[in-house]
Structure 1
Amino acid sequence: MPIVPDEKDWTWVLSRPCTQCGFDASTVTPSTVPGSVENMLPRWRAVLRRPDATERPDDSTWSALEYACHVRDVFNLFDRRLNLMLTDDNARFQNWDQDKTALESDYANADPAVVSAELTAEGQQVAASFARVQESQWDRTGLRSNGSEFTVLTLAQYFLHDVVHHLADVDG
């Protein structure tokens, strides 16, 4: 059964802490992202080793495996967006329909061991990209297709919230 798409605009997490996961964007800079991502990777791998990783807790919530697939793809997407912002003035991001991707990529039937390896590789890649960001680049801008404007700093904050929030979603 498909999950009802989440159509909330989560950019509010840039201005106040997330009451659901406790994330506070004001504590994040591009230079803190690499260590944060690297520290979460073992927790994601542990989640994927759980015997119930493929089971949805209810009909309206992704399984831990599906969340991990999403996070793997978030790592890849934000790596591409970050690099676009660093190379193109006023970068523009194409729309990404995460729910369509989940269905087309068949997240629910993925192999947890394969996803674990892919998530680790994508996480290490995005961490390395953020590690290369110079403080002088933090104000470079990008525009999402819905009109939301990001700087490299706010992109780092928004990105890290997604990963932290989903780790909390799966009790990682």
Structure 2
Amino acid sequence: MERCGECGFVDADLPRAEVAPALHGLAHQFAARLRGTGAAALRRRPAPAVWSPLEYGAHVRDVLVVQRERILRALIHDGPTYAPMRRDERVVEQRDNESDPATVADQLGSAAAQLAHLVAGLTDEEWDRVGIYPWPAQVARDVDWIARHTVHELVHHLFDVARTLQGPTGTPHGLGSG
């Protein structure tokens, strides 16, 4: 990946040994944001096609859970095909914007800890295991890419939340199937 035009993240700049600590640190930042912001501000969608900060938090929680499952599948099976996570549908079906922010923060932290524990113990061969990733198009991705992409998701959505809480609508995120 080249530098993300919005958040500035470059996955190649993140050493494997720093993935697990990055997941912990970013989850802590996200949880602190959810706990330190009023519920009304967390639930406010700045535009119909832009998630609220609380919805971004719930999405990040879900990403951490789904990515851990994808990595586990790649470790167990040769070339598994991953189902799309249905991110937009989840927000509605789970009524994420009605969730308790502290509960989402706790769940996000727990999911990050579980994923970080998994990636911290990977061997070089396991980092290279491959699965068929569904987004943006079906393509073979190794565990290394999945782990770094997950860190990018956290970085990017922290950026989205900060932008949303500051007021300007910006570019809608949370649209599509990841």
Give the TM interval when normalised to the shorter protein.
0.7 to 0.9
Partner of 2:127: 138
Q: What is the CA–CA distance in structure 2 between the aligned matches of 1:61 and 1:158, rounded to whole Å?
A: 21
Partner of 1:126: 115
Q: What is the CA–CA distance in structure 2 between the aligned matches of 1:94 and 1:62, rounded to whole Å?
A: 22
Give 1:139 deviation, angstroms.
Answer: 1.6
Is the CA contact 1:85–1:140 (under 8 Å) kept in the aligned structure 2? yes
Is the CA contact 1:54–1:63 (under 8 Å) kept in the aligned structure 2? yes
Secondary structure, counterpart of 2:141 in structure 1 = strand
Q: Is 1:165 the equivalent of 2:151?
A: no
Alpha-carbon distance change, 41 to 147 in structure 1, aligned in 2, over 3 angstroms: closer
Secondary structure, counterpart of 1:94 in structure 2 = coil
Segments of structure 1 that go 5 or more residues without pairing to the other structure are 1-13
Q: What is the CA–CA distance in structure 1 between the aligned matches of 2:161 and 2:32, rounded to whole Å?
A: 11
Q: Is 1:17 the equivalent of 2:6?
A: no
Amino-acid identity (%): 29
Q: What is the CA–CA distance in structure 2 between the aligned matches of 1:85 and 1:28, rounded to whole Å?
A: 21
Displacement over 6 Å in runs of 4+: none
Amino acid at match of 1:162: E
> For 1:84-113, what per-residue CA distance to the aligned partner results, in whole angstroms no more than 9, with x for missing partners?
111111122122211111111111111101
Is the CA contact 1:53–1:65 (under 8 Å) kept in the aligned structure 2? yes
Give 1:71 deviation, angstroms.
Answer: 0.2
TM-score using structure 1 length: 0.86
1:6-155 mapped onto 2 (5 Å cutoff): 14=1, 16-49=2-35, 50-51=37-38, 52-145=41-134, 146-155=137-146
Q: What is the CA–CA distance in structure 1 between the aligned matches of 2:126 and 2:15, rounded to whole Å?
A: 11
Q: What is the CA–CA distance in structure 2 between the aligned matches of 1:29 and 1:83, rounded to whole Å?
A: 21
TM-score using structure 2 length: 0.83
Segments of structure 2 that go 5 or more residues without pairing to the other structure are 164-178
